[in-house]
Structure 1
Amino acid sequence: MEPAAATAPARQRGASAARTALRAPRLDPYKVGGVFFVLYTALSLSRHVRMLTMSWDLGIFEQAIQGYARLGAPIADLKGPGTNILGDHFSPVTALIAPFYRVFPSPVTLLVVQALLFALSTVPVTRLAAHLLGRGRGLAIGVAYGLSWGVQRAVDFDFHEIAFAMPLLAFSLEAVVRRRWRAAVLWAAPLVLVKEDLGVTAAVIGALVLIRLRGVRSDPRAAAWALGLVGFGLAATAVALGVIIPSFNHGGSYDYWTKLDGSGAPGPAPVIPLDTAIRTLLWIVLPTTGLFALRSPVLIVALPTLGWRFLSHDDHYWGTDWHYSAVLMPVVFIALADALAGAPRAGRAWLRTYAQHLPAAVLAAALALTASLPLYSLTLPDSYRIPAGVKAAEGLLDRIPDGSVVESDVGPISRLVNRCRVLWVGDTRGITPDYVALRIADGRSAKDVLGEAQRLHPGVRFRLAGEAGGYAVVQRVG
């Protein structure tokens, strides 16, 4: 037999083995994560290139990470000139992005990292569900989680530090359900570096471990780990709120206390209406889990986040908009998988039948809801076209020299922060900007923007440098 002929079957067997390996169930969670990374990245970047930034948050985080990348303090001038972001929220975990930002100094870096973190969280959710329920039902839950409304709204809403909490929560709760106590604690502990309130969430995960330890063989070491996490999480939140944040805050306090005690409201502090609370709770557990997650103790991990949101007097926290529900999604979906794993022991036949079909129903609900959620925009041709007005606006903003001090509103921020010192319009605190870049509001003109600049800075002369794509730039004269 010729050598080439002899090796042909071997190559075919090798190729067949490779294809079989790629179809192995153990790779399913990583495939799900890869697909959602592409989708989340596409969603974020399609908005960015069309200048559809929703708020100043992306600029604030970029300024802070820029400070870390320069081996300096995380100064966010958009919150006020010289403001250290650690005096606003305690989120030092964002410093992990700094090395990447130093190489790629762009808001795109933040958006891609966020997409990666959100996509990474689908891996433990899918893996646990498949382990407990089988491949098909596990995949259904993993995909439903990736499509969940809380995740989609967060990915759509620029960048936020809670992106780091998503994989930490998912990996920690996966470990809890699989009785890997030490891993559960180690994954939960870094939550204290994501945001000041998440120390309480970490403490509740410790309490959850203690609950799961009941009825099993005595494990003093696991109990010690869990108790340590409870104490560590509570202490970390107390120190962040009482010491760290006030020490970096210009006023020496934690600014968000006013949202809980109502002292910042001009009149009687608003309280969440009962119907709003019920509606939000139903959105969290009904389309995502068919209420079945209520059968799992894992759901208690959602209580701290729900608690501060519902106790707040700020109505932005009460509903289902923005990014505030994202950290609840890993909790409810892992609670669902945990509850479904115990369903065969349910005493009622209808409940067992309901549980058997629930993963498919949850996936169907997620797919149906996506028609009205951000990922649906990826099916629209306009999501991949950069309007002429955006190109014109970018050309106008490019005329602002690097290193300039710019007073800006939301629109221009994402094109300026990486090369200019950007201050929020109306909050320059005595600093006179070199340029003022603003969106021209409906019914107004570029001359109105010029007048606004002169009103904000009496005695300073400005001239209209240009207008394009619905934006105007005025330049200081002299």
Structure 2
Amino acid sequence: MLIDLAPAPARTRETRAIPYLVAAVAFAGYSAWSLQRLRTFDASGFDLGIFEQAVRSYAHGHWPVSDLLGPGAPTLGDHFHPILALLAPFYLLWPSPACLLVAQAFLFALSAVPVTRCASRVLGARRGVVVSAGYVLSWGLLSAVNFDFHEVCFAVPMVAFAAEHLLRERWRAAVWCALPLVLVKEDLPLTLAAVGVVLVFKGQRRLGWAVAGFGVATSVLLVTVVLPALNPAGAYAHSGGLNPFGGSIVKVSMLLALVVPTAFAALRSPVLLLAVPTLLWRLVSANDRYWGMGYHYSAVLMPIVFLAAADGVRRFDRQWLFPACALVAGLASLGLQVAHLTDGVWTPSQRAGIDTVLARIPDDATVMASNRLAPRLTSRCMVLFFDGASKERPEWVAVAKPEQSWPTTLATKGLALEELKSTGYLRVAETDSVVLLHRG
């Protein structure tokens, strides 16, 4: 049995406004957090700069490319995310990486509306707000906010509204909300397929099997045909191998972190099946970044587990455990993430000095830039990635001080910088935070 979400007689206009108030507060908080990271140079070329270059391409009517991935590299050959084109009109009005960050904050915050509505229907308005606070502060969302921009932000509200419709037994509405997942990323059609499985489980066999088959077929087609065709290497860029038995402690910890904030109530709902595809490809992958709680990989799981819990908690005798656990876990998540929200590597005067130096680069110039400097340039220049290994020789080179050791070593980057100086590049400006070279 799913949640009875028929309108409650006692609902008032103020009560109906609560989910939108929660979303508004979340939007303000997420936006401020993201813009602070951009202001202090904590945002990076990988991945904010990459996505800005793709959106900038769309905004100017071009095929989406990211020169940070490689000169003229097609982003649709890396991941399949044509939904980014929806940001192009907004980017034309506000050509800045901040546009992407604010859009992501809005989409994440929007997902709080169905979570708050469902929790309030089951637990009452006050406990529903507590649950929504735990959701807004959940580690999967905060970790994503704390790491640039990613296309998965579109999937979070899609999944949230689809799950809400499943709980209200609005089967076709759930499918329509989940259907655009095929335009977000190549693995997400499998989540659409999981919606079909839930429909089958609830007796909607014909619709369910059709949706499940379409989702699986679409994901297979994208990974085996479309992405290899669009990738210059002629292969899917993220196959990466399998390692299902590695990192067991990390994987178990991540799984526990998903269900503990719900007091394990999520385990009692079939809606949790929507999380299975994302968890499967992450847990069997050889890429250890997928196993844990970092980055943006768990953002799409948060609305699933919270809405599944809103369904499963009805079978609990002590329903107060869910809001209590959600709030405690959310506050713990906030505390951990705030530790990363610092004033950055450089002082305010150093940051001002960096902006002054970068302002010497003319618009539309080609520049090779360090990871932390790239987002300052991607809205007006063609930006390549300074990794210490590239043989590109653009007109300008901007290198941060101190440089990051990723993806090569500091020694490799130091040698590359000296080589540039010895092969015709002149030092135009240098501070204790940045060095700017120009090809002579």
**Alignment TM-score, normalising by the size of structure 1:** 0.83
Deviates more, 1:226-235 or 1:157-166: 226-235
- Give secondary structure in 1 for the equivalent of 2:90: helix
Gaps of 5+ in 2: 1-10, 406-411
Amino acid aligned to 2:359: D
**Superposed displacement of residue 404, structure 1:** 1.1
The yes-or-no answer on 1:308 pairing with 2:281 is yes
- Which residue of structure 1 lines up, in the alignment, with residue 208 of structure 2? 226
**Superposed displacement of residue 357, structure 1:** 3.5
Amino acid aligned to 1:239: L
- Which residue of structure 1 lines up, in the alignment, with residue 241 of structure 2? 260
Distance 1:315 1:180 in 2: 38
Asked if the contact 1:149–1:369 (Cα under 8 Å) also holds between the matched residues in 2, the reply is: yes
Amino acid aligned to 2:91: Y
Deviates more, 1:288-297 or 1:27-36: 288-297
The yes-or-no answer on 1:246 pairing with 2:210 is no
The yes-or-no answer on 1:277 pairing with 2:259 is no
**Superposed displacement of residue 184, structure 1:** 0.4
1:190–1:375 Cα change, 3 Å: farther
Distance 2:404 2:53 in 1: 32
- Which residue of structure 2 lines up, in the alignment, with residue 10 of structure 1? none
**Superposed displacement of residue 442, structure 1:** 6.8
Distance 1:339 1:443 in 2: 46
The yes-or-no answer on 1:335 pairing with 2:311 is no
Aligned counterpart in structure 1 of residue 112 of structure 2, from 112, 115, 122: 122
CA RMSD of aligned residues (A): 2.6
Identify, as 1 or 2, the structure richer in helix: 1
Distance 1:469 1:50 in 2: 16
Aligned counterpart in structure 2 of residue 433 of structure 1, from 390, 394, 403: 394
**Superposed displacement of residue 160, structure 1:** 0.3
- Which residue of structure 1 lines up, in the alignment, with residue 8 of structure 2? none
Distance 2:326 2:269 in 1: 17
Distance 2:66 2:247 in 1: 35
Superposed counterparts of 1:352-371, under 5 Å: 352-353=317-318, 355-371=319-335
1:55–1:316 Cα change, 3 Å: farther
Structure 1, residues 243-273: CA drift from partner, whole Å, max 9, x if none? Answer: 211111001110111x134xxxxxxx79522
Distance 1:443 1:403 in 2: 26
Asked if the contact 1:438–1:449 (Cα under 8 Å) also holds between the matched residues in 2, the reply is: no
Amino acid aligned to 1:296: S
1:442–1:112 Cα change, 3 Å: closer
**Superposed displacement of residue 460, structure 1:** 3.6
**Superposed displacement of residue 468, structure 1:** 2.8
Distance 1:334 1:411 in 2: 37
Asked if the contact 1:81–1:428 (Cα under 8 Å) also holds between the matched residues in 2, the reply is: no
Aligned counterpart in structure 2 of residue 412 of structure 1, from 352, 367, 373: 373
Count of equivalent residues:
425
Distance 2:38 2:299 in 1: 21
- Which residue of structure 2 lines up, in the alignment, with residue 140 of structure 1? 130
- Give secondary structure in 1 for the equivalent of 2:437: strand
Distance 2:307 2:44 in 1: 30
Distance 2:359 2:122 in 1: 54
Structure 1, residues 257-300: CA drift from partner, whole Å, max 9, x if none? Answer: 1x134xxxxxxx795222222111111111x2122211111111
Asked if the contact 2:30–2:145 (Cα under 8 Å) also holds between the matched residues in 1, the reply is: yes
Superposed counterparts of 1:63-212, under 5 Å: 63-212=53-202
**Alignment TM-score, normalising by the size of structure 2:** 0.90
**Superposed displacement of residue 54, structure 1:** 4.4
1:366–1:426 Cα change, 3 Å: closer
The yes-or-no answer on 1:53 pairing with 2:43 is yes
1:443–1:275 Cα change, 3 Å: closer
- Which residue of structure 2 lines up, in the alignment, with residue 40 of structure 1? 30
Of all paired residues, the percent bearing the same amino acid is 40
Gaps of 5+ in 1: 1-20, 214-221, 262-268, 344-351
- Which residue of structure 2 lines up, in the alignment, with residue 462 of structure 1? 425
**Superposed displacement of residue 39, structure 1:** 0.1
Superposed counterparts of 1:375-454, under 5 Å: 377=341, 387-426=348-387, 431-441=392-402, 452-453=416-417
- Give secondary structure in 1 for the equivalent of 2:368: strand
**Superposed displacement of residue 223, structure 1:** 3.7
